[in-house]
Chain A
Amino acid sequence: MSVLVDDDTRVVVQGITGGEGKFHAEQMMEYGTNVVAGAVPGKGGQEVNGVPVFDTVHEAVAEEDADTSVIFVPPAFAGDAVFEALDTDLDLAVAITEGIPTQDMAKVNKRLTETDTRLVGPNCPGLITPGEAKLGILPGNIFADGNVGLVSRSGTLTYQVVDSLTNRGIGQTTAIGIGGDPIIGTDFVDALELFENDDETEAIVMCGEIGGEDEEEAAAYIDEHVDTPVAGFIAGRTAPPGKRMGHAGAIVSGSGTGTAESKINALNDAGVPVGDTPEEVADNIESFLE
């Protein structure tokens, strides 16, 4: 078992003829992902690495039965690409693109309330079910099949924690990078719900960071609804207020919301241990699984 993606997933890559889209479509296929189509306006009829390209996502769905889209479209056009994905009956759209205008995402956010398609991202590394399939840019070789679900706002921090787990022989069911933007599709609560309902996931890692209140909401949700043990991590303890730390969403506001302290306290109150170091997160997971 796993969540959101497995070896039955049929993927259309939006932007497959661009540099990144082409490279990562190839990497995904090498990992074993079932990439069945590409979608690029004006490029219909071409092939990329043997994958047929269509002018629209609708055609890719009709012709190749795609159920999931991975979006590598440049930021100026990515909002529109997400709308296109949401206009079909795909199960899942994963937006890798960084730098989508916030107002475009606010409109996407509204559209998400009217569709059954789930969005992961944007500005995220994607997701992976080790040994089955990956959607996005995560380096497949550090992951291993196992029983830990992982959800994170940051790509490379995910790799750091996964590496610690895999080195200890602890594998993962699915790892989901939800992205570092202020407005995102799938959030911590959504991911926690998926893992809680997954029979194989025996423990969950949740890597948050400063900015916003999603971690606090996740803590409240864990307290009420999650029986699976959760180990937490919060990046940005030393970040000064008012300075954005790389991610558009990673900023402690002048009025003091979004601090690491508030998030760590909320998680601790919900019974979630928060590691001081990534290794401590792996220690906590190890002790859950004993």
Chain B
Amino acid sequence: MVMKLHEYQAKDVFADAGVPTPSSQLASDVDGVLTAAEEIGYPVAVKAQVQVGGRGKAGGIKLAEDEDEAREAAESILGMDLKGYRVERVLVEEAVDFTNELYVGITMDRGEGKPVAMVSTKGGVNIEEVAEEDPDAIAREHIDPAFGMHPFQARKAVYDAGVDKSVANDVASVLTTLYDLWESRDGSDAEINPLMVTADDDVIAADAVMNIDEDALFRQPELAEMEEEAASGGDELEQKADEYGFDYVRLEGNVGIIGNGAGLVMTTLDLVDYYGGEPANFLDVGGGAKAERIANALDMVFSDDNVDSVVFNIFGGITRGDEVARGINEALEQFDEIPKPVVVRLAGTNWEEGMEILNEDLVTVEQTLEDAVERTVAYAEEVNEQ
């Protein structure tokens, strides 16, 4: 999983490393925006600090020529809902007068198992769309992670992309810095889009994306501190799952799903769909879950109002059936009436012990995965008919 830095955080990281960035200030209310704009000098851009793509199109970025426009921009953007995220803060930034917009980025090419540097003269637009419609417009250079990016590779990517000679050295230098940051900060993606070219042939990073490999945060203490701020917003239940340490994804349907192991949980979702139901979530309790964790998982799924029935599918390897049964009992015995029907299927390690422990007055037991899913879908339909 990746931790996404906000634009203002990524810009700080980039600027510290020597990448030219426009002067900017963070603000969380209208007065703050106006003070910042005054100090920076008009025109300014007012940019929502939420981690969704296409902020501009969605109305999250506005240009202001004067105080009235800045006030208007601040009022419309602060507090707005941008693709499910409430905008709490904006970045007020010097508006750059540009003649050209480039793209530079570093990411991991999983197919090759190597990092790849990318440069394009088609900056300022969604690069994934460029990749699809005009793949040749992006120059790619794979990097040997043992050596890092050689200077010639940065130059080659820049020349291959057709960047104008007047700025080629500067762009190559930004790309080199970007790779060094990506490498030293355990980036999964580092991207500047657009990298603006000014009339004076200067380059300046008008946006900044830096996603960090969460598995490497243990050796990136500075970035780990930014995590709390970076993670704010988003779905309430997904945040709760983070606290519990579950792999959880909320979906649109009404059949709750709990299981162990990513592949098997995905398969359970697919079977719900196959039997005519709609999955409400993906929830993987992970390997070796104890009773308390199992109870937390049920609590999570029950607290989703969309859920009408729940299937609990465990195939134990390092997870033990007796622990699972204890957790299910614990979670359900606190209710006078079970809020939503629960179907349980236990297999693998200690499943027989589990079946003896499981309070069958509280749940429906099925022997196979297919039967369990079919039954759960039927329960969800019954609830809907009522």
Contacts and interface: CB of A to CB of B under 8 A. Distances in A.
Given A139-B317, A245-B249, A101 B262 contact: no
Contact of A239 (B108, B113, B247, B266): B266
A254 interface: yes
Interface string B256-300: 000111111111011111100001001010010000000000000
B266 A246 contact: yes
B117 interface: no
Contacts of A106: 108, 113-115, 145
Interface string A133-170: 00001110010000000001111111110010000000
Given A138-B317, A255-B128, A238 B144 contact: no
Interface residues of B, number: 54
Main secondary structure of the interface of A (DSSP, over half): loop
A139 B348 contact: yes
Interface in B128-157: 128, 131-132, 144-146
Given A156-B317, A247-B262, A276-B274, A239 B145 contact: no
B238 to A, nearest CB: 10
B315 interface: yes
Given A152-B263, A235-B270, A250-B262, A142 B108 contact: no
A92 B267 CA distance: 30
Contacts, number: 170
B213 interface: yes
Interface string A239-253: 110011111111001
A116 to B, nearest CB: 18
A125 B267 contact: no
Interface stretch (B93-101, B214-222, B336-344): B214-222
B316 A278 contact: no
A110 B317 contact: no
B263 A157 contact: yes
B183 A103 contact: yes
Contacts of A239: 249, 266, 269, 282
A100 interface: yes
Q: Which 8 A-B residue pairs are closest in the complex by CB-CB distance?
A: A154-B263, A246-B262, A156-B261, A157-B263, A101-B216, A156-B264, A109-B113, A235-B266
23 contacts: A106-B115, A110-B114, A111-B146, A139-B316, A154-B263, A155-B261, A156-B260, A157-B264, A157-B266, A157-B267, A159-B317, A159-B348, A163-B347, A209-B266, A212-B111, A235-B270, A236-B266, A236-B269, A244-B247, A245-B262, A246-B262, A246-B263, A250-B262
Given A137-B318, A236-B266, A247-B262, 5 more contacts: A101-B213, A157-B267, A159-B315, A246-B282, A250-B262
